[in-house]
Structure 1
Amino acid sequence: MSDCSSCTVRGRAICASLDAGELAELGRMGRRQRVKAGHTLLWEGDDAPLVANVLNGVLKLVVAASRGREQIVGIVFASDFIGRPFGKESPYCVTAMTDAEVCIYNRDSFDAFAAAHPHLQQKLLRRTLDELDRARYWMMLLGRKSAGEKVASFLLEMAERLPAEAGLPVGSRGAFELPFGRQQIADILGLTIETTCRQLTRMRADGLLDLPSRREVVIRDRQAMTLIAG
């Protein structure tokens, strides 16, 4: 059983539309599970017996490419929903990039609950449309943007999606700590690690950002970064 009343993403997850009684019913269906970095929660092409809310951490959505390579097609953060309600097979692998915690539901039980609560179905539909918009943007990011545009777009999105890092020297939407390293950023953007590091170094030299450590980022000039992102 999941204690929904103390959930840190209660106001942002799909269950935000439920009243106290509905939330208690859903809570009895769920269970919290910790997921170690590198662990795969769902496999591409396999039956997907579960759906889940992400409570904390970062996970990646991956599809297999040729010669054993993988392509990251999306990233999910706290409050995001993963899995395929009203479906059977998973279209991608869901793998933790960092240690994470999720609230898991049996897919069949969740589907039955959603069918009985139309406002939850509407929330799922809105989430699906948001994901579709994000996927279209991702296609443009990977297929049409230059290396500099990709890195700038990625950093701006991370500033929006990640919590502000306490103690870093600028406002809440400009300072954050990345939950993954440079190689993972390169993999996400379809770049080499050399190109990724070169772009970050150039942006720092131009005064657009500071890099206090390997994972801390401080965006100094958001307007210029937005222009670079295109």
Structure 2
Amino acid sequence: MAKPMTSEIECGDCPIRHRAVCARCETDELETLEEIKYYRNYSAGQTICWAGDDMPFVASVVRGVSSLSQTLEDGRTQMVGLLLPSDFIGRPGRSRSPYDVVAVSDVTMCCFRRKPFEDLLGTTPAISERLLEMTMDELDAAREWMLILGRKTAREKIASLLTILARREASIGLAARGGTLSIDLPLTREAMADYLGLTLETVSRQISALKREGIIVLDGKRRVQVPDISRLVMETGDDMDGGMIA
């Protein structure tokens, strides 16, 4: 079971405030959300929900990273996405989860009871408009990920994943802006291999090559420093005029 939150986060102090589903809410709208929200904590490796489970809540990821996976009838499992801080889990109007959702690292979620949240969508345009915007961003990201998995080289895949993580952490203030970016790598190399459709050996070899060339600096097993984000982006194979989706 999810662990109770030891102390609540005030909306004004929330680290994802300007990117979450409540980003455009006024003070009175935030007060309404406060009435239906609660927090849940999950430890790394803990299942948040299984595919087909009833979900009585929708939520924003406040801290940590979760994986989205689907399992075939013969037991094969594919990781199909990651939920990063400020991402939204659950779909209004659908009570069951289509994916297995598992905490990759320790996760804190700001949850809203489903029915009251669905009612708010009809009376609070700021929430419904932001949710639509996030949904379109998620669609764009899914299309970009199809390109990463289908057409990019192993090196470009690794660089693309690191760029996505670096930009997201920078956007919510978890990584320093300008100069060296320092990010926590939420996935083990085994999980990265599974997510990117690569072997463990290939992932390790490509990370070592990026380190050797000074594009990244490894700080322990799960922390990566990026001295110059533009050099990393160049390794993604993307059109530099467009860039990756944050």
Whether TM-score is above 0.5 comes out as yes
1:138: how far off?
1.1
* Sequence identity (%): 40
Deviations 1:188-215 (A, max 9, x none): 2121211100111112222322223212
Alignment partner of 1:138 out of 145, 162, 173: 145
1:218 aligns with 2:234: no
Any unmatched runs of 5+ in structure 1? Answer: none
Deviates more, 1:5-14 or 1:149-158: 5-14
| Higher-helix-fraction structure | 1
Correspondence for 1:123 among 124, 130, 143: 130
Q: 1:164 — aligned with what?
A: 175
Residue of structure 2 aligned with 1:153, choices 152, 160, 170: 160
Q: Aligned partners of 1:93 and 1:209: how far apart in 2?
A: 32
Aligned to 2:15: 8
Instruction: Count matched residues.
Output: 226
> Counterparts of 1:92-103 in structure 2 under 5 Å?
92-103=99-110
1:198 aligns with 2:205: yes
1:8-47 correspondence runs (5 A): 8-47=15-54
Q: Deviations over 1:46-99 (max 9, x none)?
A: 333210011111111111146323212111122221111122332212211011
2:216 maps to which residue? Answer: 209
- The aligned residue for residue 96 of structure 2 is 89
**What CA distance in whole angstroms lies between the structure 2 residues aligned with 1:136 and 1:203?**
26
**C-alpha separation in 2, matches of 1:113 and 1:180:** 35
* 1:110-144 deviation line (CA, Å, top 9, x unaligned): 10111111221111100000000011111111122
Q: Determine the C-alpha separation between the residues in 1 that align with 2:128 and 2:35.
A: 19
Which of 75, 79, 86 lines up with 1:72 in the alignment?
79
RMSD over aligned CA atoms reads: 2.2
Amino acid at match of 2:99: Y
Separation of aligned partners in 2, 1:39 and 1:156: 26
Offset at 1:181? 2.0
* TM-score (structure 2 length as normaliser): 0.83
The worse-fitting range, judged by mean Cα deviation, of 51-60 and 203-212 is 203-212
Residue identity matched to 2:175: A
Instruction: State how far apart, in whole Å, the 1-side matches of 2:211 and 2:126 are.
Output: 46
Task: Give the Cα separation in 2 of the matches to 1:84 and 1:151.
Answer: 30
Which stretch shows the higher mean deviation, 183-192 or 23-32?
A: 183-192
For normalisation by structure 1, the TM-score amounts to 0.89
Q: CA deviation at 1:7?
A: 2.6
How far is 1:3 from its partner?
4.1
Give the structure 2 partner of residue 56 of structure 1.
63
Contact 2:182–2:223 (Cα < 8 Å) also in 1: yes
Unaligned runs of 5+ in 2: 1-7, 238-246
